[in-house]
Amino acid sequence: MTTTFRAWLVEKQTDASGSASQTASVSDLTDEDLMPGNVSLDVSWSSINFKDGLALTGKPGVVRAWPLIPGIDVVGTVTSSETKRFAVGDEVLLNGAGLGETHHGGLAQRARVDSASLVRVPTSLGAKRSAAIGTAGFTAMLSVLAVERHGVTPGDGPVLVTGAAGGVGSIAIALLAKLGFEVVASTGRADSQGDYLRRLGANSVIDRAEISEAGKPLQSQTYAAVVDAVGSTTLVNALAQLNYGGIATACGLAQGADLPGTVMPFILRGVTLAGINSVDAPLAMREEAWNRLATDLDTDILDELTTSIGLEDAADAAGRILKGELHGRTVVDVSA
């Protein structure tokens, strides 16, 4: 029996001049269209991340195989398994690991994936909340773990979170606040999102303009740590404001992929820049992060920052996330 399901599909076209373009549309597919993997799923939830925004709006840089189902997050129920780690009926999740880039992703009603990076849905969270956390929350937790491993404690001083109203920033604030840190949130929407960020746990909110323009290589020591999702000049200024021996984690490039700074913060203040790669995180790190998310994230706050949409609405949300109009997390009910 052939299973038919609905999915977003990104396709590539090349015109007579050789110029290539991408289009995305909801299509009817079958299991025969899925890629190889040892676990098959009925998908319940996915989510909208910045990468999904690029893929669904035809922007280059994310999708690297065509045609491809986008969606870097998938949460679902196992329908068949060729590994002893999972059985039919298990609720599982997968973030990154090539989903929505080189392997069919989560914006579909069915999926087939490799179990190497697959994690069980924490019972205390459930499927929808796990999707709401998604890659953004997983990345935020990896960033917080890096700050902890560096030895930073709440008594060492405030932590700056850039891109604070986005998915990574929002969950990073909630995590850090629950762990007792003083949090400073940087956003370009300080007027409209200030109350929202304080509700998440931010002690103060600053306008991103304060740190988004070129500044001195060394500035006043202000922060014990930085969780950055912006990159470019913002990250350079954040490094320049770290306390001696502080750490900045870098997981995004919303402002740019460049790093137009100097080595002075590193050699004169002994600061550390730690890269956060959630896509290729090993299984042990994934399980550690999800175990911590299940205990350290306030689910009431998570519910407040979560918006649900149907599968057909994903393209609209994709455009809005690229324009900076979304805050918090947007989950996709693939059955709706």
Residue 334 banded pLDDT, cuts 50, 70, 90:
very high
Cβ neighbour number for residue 53 with a 10 Å cutoff: 22
Confidence check: pLDDT of 276 > 70: yes
Q: Please say whether the beta carbons of 99 and 72 come within 8 A.
A: yes
Confidence check: pLDDT of 256 > 90: yes
Confidence check: pLDDT of 285 > 90: yes
The SS3 call for residue 249 is: strand
Position 324 scores a pLDDT of 86
**Dist. CA 196–CA 219, nearest whole Å:** 29
Confidence check: pLDDT of 1 > 70: no
- What CATH superfamily classification does 4-121+305-333 receive? Medium-chain alcohol dehydrogenases, catalytic domain (3.90.180.10)
Position 19 scores a pLDDT of 87
117's CB contacts (< 8 A; 6+ apart) are 94, 95, 96, 97, 281, 283, 286
Angle at which helices 283-296 and 126-149 pack, to 10 degrees?
110
Q: What's the mean pLDDT in 30-57?
A: 97
**Dist. CA 264–CA 30, nearest whole Å:** 56
Helices (H), 241-313: 264-269, 283-296, 299-304
Equal fold, 4-121+305-333 vs 136-275: no
**Dist. CA 65–CA 22, nearest whole Å:** 11
Q: Please say whether the beta carbons of 85 and 115 come within 8 A.
A: yes
Q: What's the mean pLDDT in 199-218?
A: 97
Cβ neighbour number for residue 18 with a 10 Å cutoff: 6
**Dist. CA 308–CA 320, nearest whole Å:** 14
Angle at which helices 126-149 and 167-178 pack, to 10 degrees?
70
Confidence check: pLDDT of 315 > 90: yes
State pLDDT tens for residues 179-198. Answer: 999 999 999 989 899 999 99
State pLDDT tens for residues 97-153. Answer: 999 999 999 999 999 999 999 999 999 999 999 999 999 999 999 999 999 999 999
Confidence check: pLDDT of 331 > 90: yes
- State in words which class domain 136-275 has: alpha beta
Q: What's the mean pLDDT in 311-322?
A: 96
Half-sphere exposure of 272 (CA within 13 A, CB side): 17
CA pseudo-torsion sign 8, 326, 175, 296? negative
Domain boundaries, the chain: 4-121+305-333, 136-275
**Dist. CA 233–CA 260, nearest whole Å:** 6
**Dist. CA 118–CA 103, nearest whole Å:** 14
Task: Indicate the average pLDDT of the chain.
Answer: 96
